Structure 1
Amino acid sequence: MNDKYFKDTDRGTSVQVGRLAACGADTDAHLRWRTARFGSAKREAMIGRMPQRHAKATPLRYLAIVLMLWGCKPSLQDLANVLPAQGEMMPAFSFPAPVGAPISNGSLEGAPAVIALWSTTCPSSQRAMQSLAALHANFAARGAQVVILANDSDPRAVKDVLTAGHVQTPFAVASGALKDAFTKGQSMLPWRQAFGLPIIFVLGADGTVVWRQLGIETDPSDRLLRVRQVLDSLSAL
C-alpha cells in the first residue's frame, strides 16, 4: 500500500484514496476497525476477578462497541466493492436534464466521457467544480463529454450553485437515486447507507469504465490530474 492507492484484491484494480476527500465516506474506517482494542491486559485481568454478574455484562459491552464501529461511515473500500469497476460496463441510467434530452448511457455512447456523481450539499463535490469545468472546456472540442449527475432533486438549486461557480458543465438531477443506480443492487449494511461523493468515472467510447476515482484531491494543483491524463490518452486514439 502506498500513499495514493490501495489494492482492490477481489477485482484486481486500484482505487485512488490518498490525499482525497469525500463526503459520506470514511477512508480510515477499515483502519480503525483493525486497530480497535477492547481493553488493556490489565483491564482484562481485572474483569477476570469481577463477580459473575459483572463478567456476564462484559460481552454485551463488547457487542455495543462492535455495533458502534459498524455504524461508522462506509469506507472507500465499501464503496469500491459495489461500484462499477474498471473494465466493466456502466449500469443503465437515465436522469432528466434541465434543458434537452435526459443524460443516459445512450447519450454518452460513441466518445470518451466523464461522469461526475456529485451533490450541492457536499463540500468535496463543490471543490471539484472548477476542475470539472476545466475538463469540459478543454475536452469538449476534442469530442469527449463531461457531465455532472447531481444527487439533488431541485434543478434550479443545482444550476444556481454551478452558475455561482461559473461552471457550464452539462448536468442532470438524480433526486437521490445515484446510490441505487450505481451500486448494482448490492446495498451496503442498512446502517451504513451514506454514499461518498464525488465519484468520477471515465468511460471509453464503448461505455466501459476506464478509470474511476472516489473523492477529490485536497491539493488544488492535483485535482483530477489522473482523469485528465486518461482523457488525453483516449482522445489520442
Structure 2
Amino acid sequence: MFRGTGFGTYYYDVRQVEACDTSFVAQNLSPLECSSQNALSLNHVNSNYVVAMNHSQLKLDMSKYCGKRVIVTVNGEQSNLPLFIGDGCQRCAGGSASSDVWNAVAAPGLDFSYSVLEELSGGAACADGHIQIAWEIVDDTIYNFSDGVNFETAPAEASEERTTSSAALVMSTSLSAASFLHTPVNDDPVQNAVAVLARQGYGDATEASSNNALPTDGLLASLAEPR
C-alpha cells in the first residue's frame, strides 16, 4: 500500500506514562485521528502498537490506512510487532523523503509509543528520541476503529473465555455429581451407606449373596450392630 524511509519517534505510552522526563497523561487522553466518528483516545484503544503516520497523507484516504498493519525495519532487521495506523503525525508530513538529516519540525517517518521505540532502538529511545527507519503499510487490518475490535487479541480473548466457561461447567458438573453421590436418603446410617455404594456403581447393594458381596460388607455389618 505504501513504503517509506525516514525517522521514528515517540509521543505516547499507555503502559509507562512517565518516561524520559516526560508525562504522557495528556497525550493518552487525546482522540485519535482514525476515530473521528467515536473519538476514541489512546487510553480507550489501550494499545502501545498505535502508530501515527503522515497527517496529510492519512487525511486524504483514512479508510485506506486506518487500522492497517505497519512493518518497520531498523538497520536491516524487520520487526514483528503488530503495529497499526491509528493517528496522524504533523512532523511526519514535512521534510524531504530522501533526506537522512533529522529535523524535529519536519521529517518524514512514523510516531510510535515510547515502549515501541525503546524496543526498536535497542534501549536508546531516551538518548536521541529518534531513529532511522524504513516501513511498509500493508493491506492487513489489525484494528477496526468503527467498533473497537483488535484482531490481534480478539481470538485469544475468545479462546480464554471459552476455556474459562468449560472449566466452570466441569466444576459445576463435578460438584453436582458429588452432591448426588453423598446425599443421605434418611437418618439410617446403614441405608445411607447402601445407597452411596449403589450410586457409585456397585450394582444392587441390597443383595447379600456370597457371589455378589460388596467390598464394604464388613463395614455395613458393623454399622448394623446394636450400640
Q: For the superposition of Structure 1 and Structure 2, which TM-score range results when normalised by the shorter chain?
A: under 0.3
Kindly indicate which of the two structures has a greater share of residues assigned to strand: 2
Work out which structure has the larger RCO, using CA pairs closer than 8 Å and 6 or more positions apart in sequence.
1
- State the structure with more CA Rg: 2
TM-score under structure 1 length normalisation: 0.26
